[in-house]
Amino acid sequence: GSLDVSGQYRIHNFYIRSDDAANGDVQLEDATLVTQCSVQNLYHIVELSVRWDGPVSVAIFAPGENAAFADDIVGGLRRCYPLIRKYVSFHLVYPTSREAIIYEESPTLLNTPCQDILHLAKYHKSATLNYGAEKEPYPNNLLRNVARQGSSTEFIFVVDIDMLPSEKLRTDFVHFALENRLFDSRTSLVSDHLDTVYVVPAFELQLNASIPKDKTELLEALQQGQARPFYRDICWKCQSSTDYDKWTAAKSSSKRRLDVAYNVTWKDPWEPFYIGRWSVPLYDERFKQYGFNRISQVQHEGRVQNVCFVPIFDYSQVCELHIAGYGFSVLDRAFLVHKGWKTVTDFHASKDEENSRNRLLFRQFKNELKVKYPDTDRRCY
């Protein structure tokens, strides 16, 4: 494996390649779903791979013995789920201070019936790590970049691993891109910063609600109070620029399966999920999930999981998109859902110096953008 820029993390790109990637069957004119997770959240990839039904790139954070469990579970998932074997490439990341420990494949998993693999992935706890308790920073932006670099398609869709896209989003988007000749412009991309990303509105869903397949079902869930806009209770201003009222009211006059409903001007601190070209700016790897973290508690299938959430620094990459001249177009029928309400229940006990570090970093980041894009009058605030 190689080291990251800071020298603090070791990266194994394509630790396990999808069959399509190994056989050279991934087409440039396609979209890759890009995500990252800790070992205990790997099981989400089962549903995600079914919904996306196309190339997926996952970076797994697996310090120490977590790597052995990740290795076993990935092997089991590939054996039991043909779509994962066909489409999903896995990358491994761990701190140099906690090198990966990987044993020979676990005989338990080799002999585990397929109907039990998912349960094992969900509930196995011996190797898992609570990052808040152990003060192990979670390098979310490094992981996103590693997963992004594992894609070989023109478009990428960076999502959290516990979210699900609307059905047929990938095939509909590729159809939309072909109709609008979006694949034809790639030769001019290197010099062209004036580009567009395609925003996919995000929602939260009550745990007992069935997962909506299309916009009609989602609108019904919203009407029944079973769905609501993403982060409504945690950080509404982080999502409100999506203009959910406009999106829900939008009646597409187009006969296309997917189209642009309207355009939005970026405003601080909007953090949209979007489908963009592979050439969009990378994430700033200096930001990690510890300082300024709020812990939100999500009840998932009867269990409470602590999920780290960064309201200030996760939007640094979107802010750079804005400064670089990108436009934001909201897709009319596409959406993401997160299973369970997100609510703030506690604050991460972070050290003062960690908070100060992130404040200083963000100030530095904004100054660097002024140097990187000297001719723009756009700002991040």
Q: Coil, strand, or helix at residue 292?
A: strand
Residue 45, CA distances (Å) to 74, 81, 87, 202, 323 in order: 10, 10, 11, 18, 33
pLDDT for the residue 127:
46
**How sure is the predictor about 191, in pLDDT bands with cuts at 50, 70 and 90?**
very low
pTM: 0.89
Residues 62 and 209 occupy one common structural domain? no
Of 127, 161, 195, which residue constitutes the final position of a domain? 161
195: Cβ–Cβ under 8 A, 6 or more apart, which residues?
A: 189, 276, 277, 279, 280, 325, 326, 327
Burial grade of 67 (CB within 10 A; 0-12, 13-18, 19 or more): buried
Element (H, E) at 199: strand 196-199
Are 58 and 82 a contacting pair, CB within 8 Å?
A: no
Q: Coil, strand, or helix at residue 152?
A: coil
* pLDDT (tens digit per residue) in 117-147: 998 888 865 444 444 445 578 899 999 999 9
Residues 131 and 203 occupy one common structural domain? no
Residues 229 and 378 occupy one common structural domain? yes
151/145 Cα distance (integer angstroms): 10
DSSP state of 104: S
* pLDDT (tens digit per residue) in 7-55: 999 999 999 999 999 999 999 999 999 999 999 899 999 999 999 999 9
Residues 156 and 171 occupy one common structural domain? no
Residues 207 and 69 occupy one common structural domain? no
Domain tally, the chain: 2
* pLDDT (tens digit per residue) in 310-328: 444 467 899 899 999 999 9
Q: Coil, strand, or helix at residue 352?
A: helix
Of 161, 177, 197, which residue constitutes the final position of a domain? 161
323/365 Cα distance (integer angstroms): 12
Residues 115 and 155 occupy one common structural domain? yes
* pLDDT (tens digit per residue) in 349-380: 555 565 677 778 888 888 999 999 999 999 88
Residues 102 and 129 occupy one common structural domain? yes
Residues 260 and 359 occupy one common structural domain? yes
272/259 Cα distance (integer angstroms): 17
Residues 96 and 183 occupy one common structural domain? no
- Bridge-based pairing of strands 343-347 and 294-300 is antiparallel
Are 157 and 33 a contacting pair, CB within 8 Å?
A: yes
Domain that holds residue 13: 1-161
pLDDT for the residue 105:
63
Of 139, 161, 183, which residue constitutes the final position of a domain? 161
Are 45 and 58 a contacting pair, CB within 8 Å?
A: yes
Computed over every residue of the chain, the mean pLDDT equals 85
Residues 139 and 179 occupy one common structural domain? no
Maximum C-alpha span of the chain:
61
- Bridge-based pairing of strands 56-61 and 88-95 is parallel
Question: Percent of the chain beyond pLDDT 90?
Answer: 61
Residues 134 and 253 occupy one common structural domain? no
Residues 119 and 151 occupy one common structural domain? yes
190: Cβ–Cβ under 8 A, 6 or more apart, which residues?
A: 279
139/61 Cα distance (integer angstroms): 8
* pLDDT (tens digit per residue) in 284-303: 998 877 533 333 334 334 34
Task: List the alpha helices (DSSP H) in the chain.
Answer: 19-22, 45-52, 66-80, 82-87, 107-110, 114-123, 131-134, 140-149, 169-179, 215-223, 244-249, 316-323, 352-372
